[in-house]
């Protein structure tokens, strides 16, 4: 019990740290100083909001008969404000394209390691696309 | 003096632990991309809170953002997220 308490206290401290830095940044931008109480209040609100987000995400995932929360659930959690939803969708597209690249890189590496008995097509495809990229760069 | 990061973000680890702390079911997991997206969303939440409070302080012609400025913008902030 005591262990769990200190665990959540630590996470609160981590949030407080990031919120303080964020407030400092905004303060410089707007030429304002944030009082310590205001920063503490924003941190506490963020912590509570995170609780709400987590419970929502869990419920969304369960509704989709999953036990893992995915990007789709986060998109649903951001549905209340249109501009926030647009921003989150855009960010998620960036993230998925990044992870796809990483996966392809990993595939290439494992393909080479296995001397290409299971993934020769994928490795060849990857080589082709990189060669096409080189040609484009030259042209 | 020191190389400051251009952007303040929540650590992926912190957000992951926070989410799993609040889940009712221990079996619930979070995908890596979802954690990163949640970190982004929390950053937006904090920035929005700070900017709205700063704006409120500005309309009251106050140089420091105090807790009552934040209290005034809090209801609308929570309705927007």
Summarize pLDDT for A34-91 with one digit per residue, the tens: 999 999 999 999 999 999 999 999 999 999 999 999 999 999 999 999 999 999 999 9
Q: Which of residues 7-46 of B touch A (CB under 8 A)?
A: 8-11, 14, 17-19, 21-25, 27-34, 36-38, 40-46
**Closest-CA distance of chain A to residue B79, Å:** 8
| Contact between B65 and A32 using a beta-carbon 8 Å cutoff | yes
Q: Whole-angstrom Cα distance, residue A16 to residue A13?
A: 5
| Contact between A95 and B64 using a beta-carbon 8 Å cutoff | no
Least CB–CB distance from B41: residue in A22, A67, A78: A78
Q: Whole-angstrom Cα distance, residue A48 to residue A12?
A: 10
End-to-end CA distance of chain B: 37
End-to-end CA distance of chain A: 65
A70 chain-B contacts, CB cut-off 8 A: 31, 33-34
What average pLDDT does this structure show over B4-15? 83
Residue A130, pLDDT above cutoff 50: no
CB atoms < 10 A from the CB of A89, how many?
14
Residue-wise pLDDT for A94-121, tens only, equals: 998 988 898 889 888 887 665 545 544 4
What average pLDDT does this structure show over B43-52? 96
């Amino acid at each position: 019990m005591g262990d769990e308490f200190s665990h959540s206290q630590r996470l609160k401290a981590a949030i407080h740290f990031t919120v303080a830095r964020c407030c400092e940044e905004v303060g410089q931008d707007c030429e304002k100083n944030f009082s310590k109480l205001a920063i503490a209040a924003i941190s506490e609100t963020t912590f509570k909001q995170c609780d709400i987000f987590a419970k929502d995400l869990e419920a969304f995932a369960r509704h989709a008969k999953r036990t893992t929360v995915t990007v789709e659930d986060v998109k649903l959690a951001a549905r209340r404000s249109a501009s926030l939803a647009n921003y989150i969708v855009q960010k998620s597209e960036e993230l998925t394209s990044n992870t796809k690249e990483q996966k392809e890189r990993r595939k290439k590496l494992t393909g080479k390691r296995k001397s290409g008995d299971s993934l020769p097509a994928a490795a060849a495809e990857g080589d082709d696309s990189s060669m096409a990229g080189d040609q484009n760069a030259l042209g | 003096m020191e190389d400051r990061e251009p952007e303040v973000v929540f650590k992926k680890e912190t957000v992951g632990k926070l989410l799993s702390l609040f889940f009712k079911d221990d079996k619930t997991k979070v995908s890596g991309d979802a954690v990163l997206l949640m970190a982004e969303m929390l950053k937006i939440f904090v920035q929005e809170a700070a900017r709205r409070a700063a704006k409120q302080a500005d309309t009251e012609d106050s140089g420091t953002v105090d807790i009552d400025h934040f209290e005034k913008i809090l209801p609308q902030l929570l309705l927007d997220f």
